[in-house]
Structure 1
């Protein structure tokens, strides 16, 4: 790997592949869609880190994938209601079906309404119920909109024991942005939690997009964070561009970087 400030496109592509949560969360997803997703997850250039699906497809994905590829599923998704029974039911379904990871939506509307203590209790209960699975907390940074709320949501997730703090569901108008990532990564670094990770999700379609988050993560968390234990990308279309770059072709997708939260 390059030791300079930048990474080559091939280095960025390979790192993005190793950290990719290949995702399909369409309302109309079928078993055939998930079978195709699992085939794509085992690319000619190597496996992705995980696939991310609805809870009802966890058992199918786990059966189709090798053990090295994790199976993640969403909980309390996508609206992030302050509905603990629903979230716990999702977590139980994921665990019972053989899932490895839970991506739960933080009740961001409740946080925006000043219900921080209720959100903290919600996250603590989800963390307790989800052990020993990997827990990623989606803060929906594009809806929180301000650096202060993004920072508060990140702190609440970390204090509850989240393994990763994730930007977005991919269902909101604004998804992952470098500006939101900067706030989240700063809070992760300041927490002193050496195992806590960051997941950029939503609107990431190119190696150029991933490249920026790789540099941000390295700057805040160090070179040792550029792996699937500390960094993930949640995307459905990014793999196409990764494969194009690793095959020696020009990137097929433009960067969608934005300075907005």
Structure 2
């Protein structure tokens, strides 16, 4: 593995601080979640958040706190992964997750409803979850852009989610064939720009390499500038990316590992 130059080292450190370190596998157990939380504190600084299923929120919070990681957020997912249309059920799920200690809620937007011509369900669901999260948790809305596919659909979902009160727009669940793409992120960034850059962006799904991280950070930087690139505005959702970033940063200077 070739040694990174100084600029790449700085970018890799920045990417760690933007990372939502994620474990959303069907066979997740307590041991895996504890190990995830232990990895969240790195020699190069903490990740932004750990993202786990709702049933592991309380465990993740306790584990992080016991390790001195009080500043690391606990994120969870609701209406996941299929993006159903039952607003009341999703609100109940959101409230339960916040009561368990979630700092951030990643809500799957009811994208199938939009594809069938129903925009109101998405507006209502995001607004209801926004009210539930108000003052207690950050709301990140997963648009599932790979399923929406059409640029105009991605634009409408982005605009509607922002209008209904999303704090972040997120590309994907990582559970479908097409996840984060440069095209989708460009459309989402434009919708965010239309509202003054006040809403954040989370690129997630298929982000595994340093070059993937660089691509999405640079897209956001080119749109909003360097100062915008922080954990309040930009996230990278991934499970395997941290290992690559650490391997790159820990490579001995002037040689190969």
With structure 2 as the length reference, what TM-score do the two structures score?
0.92
Out of 185, 191, 194, the residue aligned to residue 189 of structure 2 is 185
Please state whether the residue corresponding to 1:8 is helix, strand or coil: helix
Partners of 1:157 and 1:165 within 8 A in 2:
yes
Please state whether the residue corresponding to 2:71 is helix, strand or coil: coil
Residues 7-46 of structure 1 mapped to structure 2, 5 A cutoff: 8-46=7-45
Residues 21-170 of structure 1 mapped to structure 2, 5 A cutoff: 21-65=20-64, 66-132=69-135, 133-170=137-174
Partner Cα separation in structure 1 for residue 102 and residue 70 of structure 2? 11
Partner Cα separation in structure 2 for residue 150 and residue 25 of structure 1? 24
Partner Cα separation in structure 1 for residue 194 and residue 127 of structure 2? 20
Partners of 1:198 and 1:231 within 8 A in 2:
yes
Partner Cα separation in structure 2 for residue 76 and residue 97 of structure 1? 17
With structure 1 as the length reference, what TM-score do the two structures score?
0.90
How far apart are residue 62 of structure 1 and its match?
A: 0.4
Indicate the RMSD between aligned Cα atoms, in angstroms: 1.3
Partners of 2:180 and 2:207 within 8 A in 1:
yes
Aligned to 2:213: 210
Please state whether the residue corresponding to 1:232 is helix, strand or coil: strand
Partners of 1:9 and 1:207 within 8 A in 2:
no
1:243 is aligned to 2:236? no
Partners of 2:110 and 2:121 within 8 A in 1:
no
What are structure 2's unaligned runs of at least 5 residues? 1-5
Partner Cα separation in structure 2 for residue 231 and residue 79 of structure 1? 24
1:176 is aligned to 2:180? yes
Out of 189, 199, 204, the residue aligned to residue 202 of structure 2 is 199
Partner Cα separation in structure 1 for residue 109 and residue 252 of structure 2? 39
Partners of 1:20 and 1:232 within 8 A in 2:
yes
Partner Cα separation in structure 2 for residue 183 and residue 19 of structure 1? 21
Out of 216, 221, 224, the residue aligned to residue 227 of structure 2 is 224
Partner Cα separation in structure 2 for residue 117 and residue 154 of structure 1? 14
Count of residues in correspondence between the two structures: 243
Is the deviation greater in 230-239 or in 220-229?
220-229
